[in-house]
Structure formats: C-alpha cells, structure tokens
Amino acid sequence: MKLFYNPASPFVRKVLVTAIECQVEAQINKEPLALTPVSPSDALNADNPLGKIPALVLDNGSTLFDSRVICEYLNQLGGGTLFPNDDSRWQALRRQSIADGMCDAGVLVRYETFVRPEERQWDHWINNQKDKFRRATALLESEVSGFGDTIDIGTLSVAIALDYIDFRYSDESWRNQCPALAAWHQSISTRPSLAQTMPKDLA
Ligand code: BEZ
C-alpha cells in the first residue's frame, strides 16, 4: 500500500498511529508530499480528486480517503480494537470528531497564516478558527475524567489534536485552563505509537 504523506499533518499522523497500533505499518510505503491548497500534486490528484492527504492507495489500485475511512480500514486489516463495536463506539467516534474538528481549525489557520500573503490575512477569521479549538479543549477538560485508560480512535485522536496545537500554536495556553486534560495528555504521550510520530516539518 502507498500512503501520500506529510509528517506535519495531524490527519496523516492519525493514520500512522493507527497503523502502528494495529501492526500493519510495515505494509505501508510512505510517499512524502509538500502540499498546500495552492501547490497541488498531480500524482496525488490522479489518485484522490480532492487533492488531500492522507490518501492510501491499496494494492488493488483503488484509493481510500479520508483519515477516518483509512483508519477504520487499517483497524480491520490488522484486527485492531480501535473502533469498538459495542455502545462505546459512539463515544469513540464523537471524540474523534471533536479532535478532527480541532485539527481542521488548526490547519485552516496554518494555511491562512503560512500560505496566504500577509496583507490579505484576516485576523477576525483566524481568531474565530482558534476559538473552535479553545472551546473544544474546554469541553474535553470537562469530559477527560471519563477517558480512563481507554485507547481507541477517540482518545488517540484527541492526543494528536493537542499535539498539533502545541506544534503550530505553542503560544496557546490550553494547559493553564485544562489541568486535567494536560495530565491525561502527558500520560498518553508516552505510548510508542504517539511518541514515534510526533509532528515535524518535511525535511
Ligand atoms: C502543516 O504544515 O501544519 C500541515 C501540512 C500538511 C497538512 C496539514 C498541515
């Protein structure tokens, strides 16, 4: 399988973490891409018309996207337990949705501040995107006591979203407002799948 990939993307990281957790990482060849919405890749567009990463090209030639679909596929391929089949499934998927929304907002701000010319940037829009992940961390602070030791697509996604905020917006002070979430994050961050995939810029 071929994974279109950038080590800074939190959505790619979710796929890599899932692959490690489900022990299918060795089956994946990583194809690095420096990609922004205004610098598309013809190779990626040929496999994913949306031009987005992650995209996973299967050995039969078909391509899976987005990260949610790829993660569920890898979980099934490896016989993993990241997508529960009992009632806890909805809690896991809801946490994944909160985390993905935080990453969506974080990535949009990244594009606005890094890709768009400075004179065209819109602070009001940027602040409204940042408010999304600020409200989300406040919600997670109120819910983190229910996380326990759960390792599933929901809790892993939350850890990944918090790491992306730290990576791109290190001046965000979510730990001050969310001490319980910070303690949980510190604890889960020692998990090898997370520790081995910390976000970084493409070399
Ligand atoms: C980033 O550099 O933050 C980034 C790169 C690719 C996809 C998403 C985010």
Determine whether the shortest distance from the Cβ of 110 to ligand 1 is under 6 A.
Answer: yes
pLDDT at 109: 97
Name every residue whose Cβ is closer than 8 Å to that of residue 190 and which is 6 or more positions away in sequence: none
The answer to whether the beta carbons of residues 47 and 4 sit under 8 Å apart is yes
How large is the C-alpha radius of gyration of the chain? 17
Q: Kindly report the pTM of this predicted structure.
A: 0.97
Residues 107-128: what's their mean pLDDT?
96
pLDDT at 146: 97
Q: How much is the mean pLDDT over the chain? A: 97
Ligand 1 atom at shortest distance from the alpha carbon of 164 = 3
Residue corresponding to tokens 């391929």: 77
pLDDT at 62: 97
Task: Collapse the DSSP code of 34 into the 3-class scheme (helix H, G, I; strand E, B; otherwise coil) and give the result.
Answer: coil
**Which helix (H) or strand (E) covers residue 128, if one does?**
helix 123-143
Positions of E strands within 33-172? 55-57, 63-64
The domain 88-195 is placed in CATH, from the list 3.40.50.300, 3.40.50.10490, 1.20.1050.10, 3.40.309.10, at: 1.20.1050.10
pLDDT at 140: 98
Domain 2-77 architecture:
3-Layer(aba) Sandwich (3.40)
pLDDT at 18: 98
Rounded to whole angstroms, the Cα distance separating 187 from 16 reads 20
**pLDDT of 154-193, one tens digit each?**
999 999 999 999 999 999 999 999 999 999 999 999 999 9
Protein residue closest via CA to atom 8 of ligand 1: 9
Task: Collapse the DSSP code of 82 into the 3-class scheme (helix H, G, I; strand E, B; otherwise coil) and give the result.
Answer: coil
**pLDDT of 33-86, one tens digit each?**
999 989 999 999 999 999 999 999 999 999 999 999 999 999 999 999 999 999
pLDDT at 203: 87
Determine whether the shortest distance from the Cβ of 8 to ligand 1 is under 6 A.
Answer: yes
Determine whether the shortest distance from the Cβ of 67 to ligand 1 is under 6 A.
Answer: no
Domain limits, the chain: 2-77, 88-195
Neighbouring CB atoms inside 10 A of 199's CB total 17
Determine whether the shortest distance from the Cβ of 77 to ligand 1 is under 6 A.
Answer: no
